[in-house]
């Protein structure tokens, strides 16, 4: 009997020691109660507690697991409190906007426990409490916005949600770091109307851009034609000016030569014009050549031209032997 008693006592001592030695992992804590009252908080490391008189307080925790693309929530009761940042992916919920449009929204909540004692004693079932608080706050915030504002103001909504939730959960010893709206799904008919509106807006912008392109193209073409005509006119004017200067110089030389022969410059010019006209008439193959009556007056001018070409400029006299 003595041997059996020793074995039983040794076994009980082993069980007591096994339950009395607690190892806490990094980034975790444990809340120890003595006789049902908070006693101390165990940080990471090895600790010894007194069985029967002391025990670790258990709390509710949630874990989200992805199985074949589907997210499942798993709730467990554990004495260990995780101090790392935790993310809750809340299921989709229907929210009514200010303009009475029902949309589906699901949010991501990133939070971190900063005071394990408050998180344990200030709220019952902390994961459920923070989930319900997030859902009600999301409904209140979205209810103040129209559908267009909701779709275009995600950052504003995220910031507003984070501020409200952080203030509400501060007394629970929780710090809300970030809130993200994951999906915003309007009703199917409104989604189709929005797609048609977006398509019409894109078509309108494309038409405006095409019209602006054609307008700029026409302007550039007009400017090119304008510059081309200006350059052409300037070229023609410059050519006429040079031609006029050349003719003036030629007329001046002829006039100087005619003064020494006593021939009028006007008769000379008329004779030149008649000669050009005779050349065009003679080049034709007509058997009969008709001449105007005034052509007989040109003979005197032709004689004057002959005298001008027989004029010896070096000697200043008419050379009658020439020609």
155 and 207 fall within a common domain: no
Residue 304 lies in a domain: yes
Is residue 85 situated within a structural domain?
Answer: yes
Tell me the per-residue pLDDT of 91-121, one tens digit each, with 9 for 90 and over. 788 888 888 888 888 888 999 999 999 989 9
Task: State which residues form the domain around 231.
Answer: 189-250
Residues 87, 161: one domain? yes
90 in the same domain as 149: yes
Q: Is the pLDDT of residue 220 over 80?
A: yes
- Tell me, yes or no, whether 303 and 201 share the same domain: no
Lowest mean pLDDT among 15-29, 124-138, 169-183, 265-279: 265-279
Residue pair 42/24 in contact by the 8 Å Cβ criterion:
yes
* Domain annotation covers residue 142: yes
**Has residue 83 been placed in a domain?**
yes
Confidence of residue 73 (pLDDT cuts 50, 70, 90): low
Judge whether 257 lies within some domain: no
pLDDT at 270 over 50: yes
pLDDT at position 24: 92
Band the pLDDT of 311: cuts 50, 70, 90. Answer: very low
The token pair at 120 is 């344990």
Looking at every residue in the chain, the average pLDDT score rounds to 79
| Same-domain check for residues 10 and 86 | no
DSSP string, 166-215: HHHHGGGTEEEEEEEEEEEE--HHHHHHHHHHHHHHHHHHHHHHHHHHHH
N-term to C-term CA, the chain: 174
In a domain, 256, yes or no: no
pLDDT digits 0-9 by tens, 4-35: 778 887 877 777 777 788 889 999 999 999 98
Q: What is the pLDDT of residue 291?
A: 55
Domain final residue pick, 138, 154, 186: 186
For residue 18, tell me if it sits in a domain. Answer: yes
Domain match, 178 and 89 both = yes
């Amino acid at each position: 009997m003595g041997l059996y008693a020793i074995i039983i006592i040794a076994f009980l001592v082993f069980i007591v020691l096994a339950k009395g030695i607690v190892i806490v992992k990094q980034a975790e804590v444990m809340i120890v109660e003595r006789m049902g009252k908070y006693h101390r908080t165990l940080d990471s490391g090895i600790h010894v507690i007194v069985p029967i008189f002391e025990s670790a307080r258990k709390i509710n925790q949630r874990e989200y697991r992805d199985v074949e693309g589907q997210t499942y929530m798993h709730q467990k009761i554990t004495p260990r409190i995780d101090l790392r940042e935790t993310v809750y992916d809340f299921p989709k919920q229907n929210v009514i906007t200010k303009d009475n449009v029902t949309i589906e929204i699901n949010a991501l909540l990133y939070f971190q426990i900063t005071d394990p004692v408050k998180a344990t004693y200030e709220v019952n079932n902390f994961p459920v409490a923070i989930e319900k608080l997030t859902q009600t706050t999301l409904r209140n915030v979205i209810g103040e916005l129209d559908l267009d504002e909701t779709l275009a103001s995600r950052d504003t909504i995220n910031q507003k949600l984070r501020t409200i939730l952080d203030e509400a959960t501060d007394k629970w010893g929780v710090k809300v770091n970030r809130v993200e709206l994951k999906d915003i799904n309007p009703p199917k008919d409104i989604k189709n109307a929005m797609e048609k509106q977006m398509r019409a807006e894109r078509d309108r912008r494309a038409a405006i851009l095409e019209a602006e392109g054609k307008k700029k193209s026409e302007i550039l073409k007009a400017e090119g034609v304008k510059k081309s005509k200006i350059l052409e006119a300037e070229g023609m004017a410059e050519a006429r000016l040079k031609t006029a200067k050349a003719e003036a110089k030629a007329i001046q030389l002829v006039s100087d030569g005619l003064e020494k022969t006593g021939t009028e410059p006007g008769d000379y010019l008329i004779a030149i014009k008649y000669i050009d006209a005779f050349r065009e008439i003679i080049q034709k193959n007509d058997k009969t050549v008709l001449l105007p009556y005034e052509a007989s007056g040109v003979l005197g001018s032709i004689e004057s031209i002959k005298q001008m070409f027989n004029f010896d400029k070096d000697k200043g006299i008419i050379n009658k032997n020439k020609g």
